[in-house]
Chains A and B, each alone.
Chain A
Amino acid sequence: MLNKDGVAAPEQIVSLFPDRQALIKPKAILECFEEIPCNPCSTSCPVNAIEIGDNINDKPQLHVDVCTGCGICIFSCPGLAIMVAQLRDDKAVFRVPYELLPLPVKGVLWHGVDRNGDIICDALIENISFTKRQDRTAILTVVVDAAYLHQFSTVRVKEHE
């Protein structure tokens, strides 16, 4: 339970994902379940797809049809609580924030990790973006099996075997 162990319930997570048809294009997944005084996701969105309103404590609402999946919200969220997800054939393609060293290199295979911190799958690092604008939050493009769409959360380096 989110309040007790920091892990959102599976149904909470599933409720954030648009249907498979919409996920043909990349869409932001906002894992923000709590009223906290914070609104950079909304103010940084170039197409006004994330709505918070005048009370910055309100939870963000995503307008799925408006979201272009550009990913600016990923590095704008101080809570690192936003990823962008997309379905490509039998693969799920994620863009996730990453602030640990070492950064992976393009093309490497890392572990895919779920929201409990457990390793669940292989994760191909397809790309790394680390621009000045991202202010030291890297964005990794990660490809995993589509079966892990609702489980995948981040990546972890594979120790040398």
Chain B
Amino acid sequence: MIKKECIIVGGGPAGLCAASMALAAGCEVLLVERSAKLGGQLIKQTHKFFGSKNQYAKWRGFDIAEKLISEIIDHPKLTVLLNTTVVGLYKDQVITVLCGQDYTRYQGDALLVATGASEKFLAFENNDLPGVYGAGAIQTLMNIYGVLPGKNVVMVGSGNIGLIVSYQLIQAGAFVSTIVEAAPIIGGYKVHASKLVRLGTKILTSTTIKKAIGKDHIESVEIISLDENFKEIADSSRIIACDALCVSVGLSPMHHLLSMIGAQTKYIPELGGFVPLIDNRFQTSLPAIFAVGDCVGIEEASAAMMEGFLGGLYLSEFLDKKHPDHNQLIEKYEKELFLLRDGPFGKKTKDGLRKMEDAKQHVE
């Protein structure tokens, strides 16, 4: 078993920011990443980011990843494991990792989980037909491998991911004829929606997908209107031709490693599903184990970065390696996080965090 001072699971925006703070505080860091590249979902984000300067607003996502990586990658106290999956988390911060056929154990004095989220999917007839994709898969195909998944696409879901991926599809040369959204209003930022509509995309709210149609590959979809109770309206279905369908209906926090070791979790719909309970220092119910980013509640990457910085600072403090500017930095990033959540789009997260507070009191 190999001992490390601090282990960070996940090299996305939250994990990278946590690593950068822990390194700056003088900790030795092992950063474990499942894929071949650091950066998580940031490397697929070709659009300019929202937020303010401290979240790299107006930078494109993949450039933010580049920047975060370049700031830490040559640090002598950093070890990065790529193509390496953490398959087990055990007592005393022991992890087992799998890289190819090699299976290794590591132990950290402290461990931070930044595993992000996985995509939700939708049940409908023929949802396994070739040509039906999740939004993440489409982004991976297009923006990492340069493969266009279709020329005439229908999108299911009008959250920011659905809207942004639609825009990226248009930039890649596809036509996105229609976005269907079951809710009565568009989920994501209206500036994204307006940008698509002026390029010729129609957004249909109170509408959902009924089935995918095609023999060997998707050829069209049947969509149907919904009433205010999300019930199908009779005789309102129609067929739209397409050669690809993208499902973008939200994300679930990847809490599984923490559940495996018995960290307390709770189902909080506002945060995306089951999430580990964390205190105001991002510490889970298990001593020495922290969690940040989408795995403790679905938000934008901007929030994940701020949580990453904070988690890295608290982790270092826990290891008696307080960053020299600990207090000022905590104050700065707490304020940033507060501001990100202070508008109407932050309400859901704030409601979710209140439920988490209530759950913790109940547990104690």
User: Among B48, B50, B302, B340, which residue has its beta carbon within 8 angstroms of that of A137?
Assistant: B48
**Bound Cα distance A100, B186 (Å):** 24
The closest CB in chain B to the CB of A5 belongs to B203
Given A5-B205, A6-B186, A40-B57, do A79 and B192 touch, yes or no (CB 8 Å)?
yes
B335 to chain A, nearest CB (A): 10
- The verdict on B103 contacting chain A, using a C-beta distance below 8 Å, is no
Tell me which residues across on chain A come within 8 A of B197, comparing CB atoms: 5-7, 115-117
- The verdict on A68 contacting chain B, using a C-beta distance below 8 Å, is no
**Bound Cα distance A156, B197 (Å):** 13
User: Among B48, B57, B173, which residue has its beta carbon within 8 angstroms of that of A39?
Assistant: B57
A108-129 vs B, Cβ < 8 Å mask (1 yes, 0 no): 0000011111000000000000
A38 to chain B, nearest CB (A): 4
Tell me which residues across on chain B come within 8 A of A5, comparing CB atoms: 186, 197, 202-205
Given A34-B189, A37-B345, A55-B342, do A79 and B50 touch, yes or no (CB 8 Å)?
yes
A42 to chain B, nearest CB (A): 9
Given A5-B203, A31-B194, A79-B191, do A37 and B339 touch, yes or no (CB 8 Å)?
yes
Q: Which B residues from 315 to 364 make CB contacts under 8 A with A?
A: 339-346
Given A39-B57, A78-B47, do A33 and B190 touch, yes or no (CB 8 Å)?
yes
Q: Do B339 and A78 touch (CB < 8 A)? A: no
Tell me which residues across on chain B come within 8 A of A40, comparing CB atoms: 52, 57-58
The closest CB in chain A to the CB of B167 belongs to A99
B161-196 vs A, Cβ < 8 Å mask (1 yes, 0 no): 000000000110100000000001110011111111
The closest CB in chain B to the CB of A116 belongs to B197
A61 to chain B, nearest CB (A): 16
- The verdict on B26 contacting chain A, using a C-beta distance below 8 Å, is no
Tell me which residues across on chain B come within 8 A of A16, comparing CB atoms: none
User: Among A6, A55, A57, A114, which residue has its beta carbon within 8 angstroms of that of B193?
Assistant: A6
The closest CB in chain B to the CB of A32 belongs to B191
Q: Which A residues from 61 to 99 make CB contacts under 8 A with B?
A: 76-81, 99
Given A7-B197, A43-B52, A57-B339, do A81 and B191 touch, yes or no (CB 8 Å)?
yes
Tell me which residues across on chain A come within 8 A of B193, comparing CB atoms: 2, 6
Size bracket of the A interface:
35 or more
Q: Do B346 and A37 touch (CB < 8 A)? A: yes
Q: Do A36 and B194 touch (CB < 8 A)? A: no
The closest CB in chain A to the CB of B204 belongs to A5
Tell me which residues across on chain B come within 8 A of A44, comparing CB atoms: 58
- The verdict on A11 contacting chain B, using a C-beta distance below 8 Å, is no
Tell me which residues across on chain B come within 8 A of A78, comparing CB atoms: 47-50, 57-58
- The verdict on A136 contacting chain B, using a C-beta distance below 8 Å, is yes
User: Among B170, B194, B202, which residue has its beta carbon within 8 angstroms of that of A81?
Assistant: B194
- The verdict on A154 contacting chain B, using a C-beta distance below 8 Å, is yes
- The verdict on A8 contacting chain B, using a C-beta distance below 8 Å, is yes
**Bound Cα distance A57, B57 (Å):** 13
Tell me which residues across on chain B come within 8 A of A55, comparing CB atoms: 339, 342-343
Tell me which residues across on chain A come within 8 A of B60, comparing CB atoms: 135-136
**Bound Cα distance A130, B291 (Å):** 42
Q: Do A135 and B48 touch (CB < 8 A)? A: yes
Q: Which B residues from 296 to 327 make CB contacts under 8 A with A?
A: 302
- The verdict on B91 contacting chain A, using a C-beta distance below 8 Å, is no
**Bound Cα distance A158, B189 (Å):** 29
A94 to chain B, nearest CB (A): 13
Q: Which A residues from 15 to 48 make CB contacts under 8 A with B?
A: 31-40, 43-44
Q: Do A57 and B342 touch (CB < 8 A)? A: yes
User: Among A4, A6, A36, A100, which residue has its beta carbon within 8 angstroms of that of B196?
Assistant: A6
Q: Do A35 and B343 touch (CB < 8 A)? A: yes
Cross-chain pairs A/B with CB under 8 angstroms, 13 sampled: A6-B186, A6-B197, A34-B191, A36-B189, A37-B346, A38-B52, A43-B52, A56-B342, A57-B342, A101-B171, A116-B198, A117-B199, A117-B202
**Given A37-B341, A101-B173, 14 further pairs, Cβ under 8 A:** A3-B186, A31-B191, A56-B340, A57-B342, A57-B344, A78-B57, A78-B58, A79-B191, A100-B171, A100-B199, A114-B198, A117-B199, A117-B200, A135-B48
> Which residues does B use to contact A, with CB under 8 Å?
47-53, 57-60, 170-171, 173, 184-186, 189-205, 302, 339-346
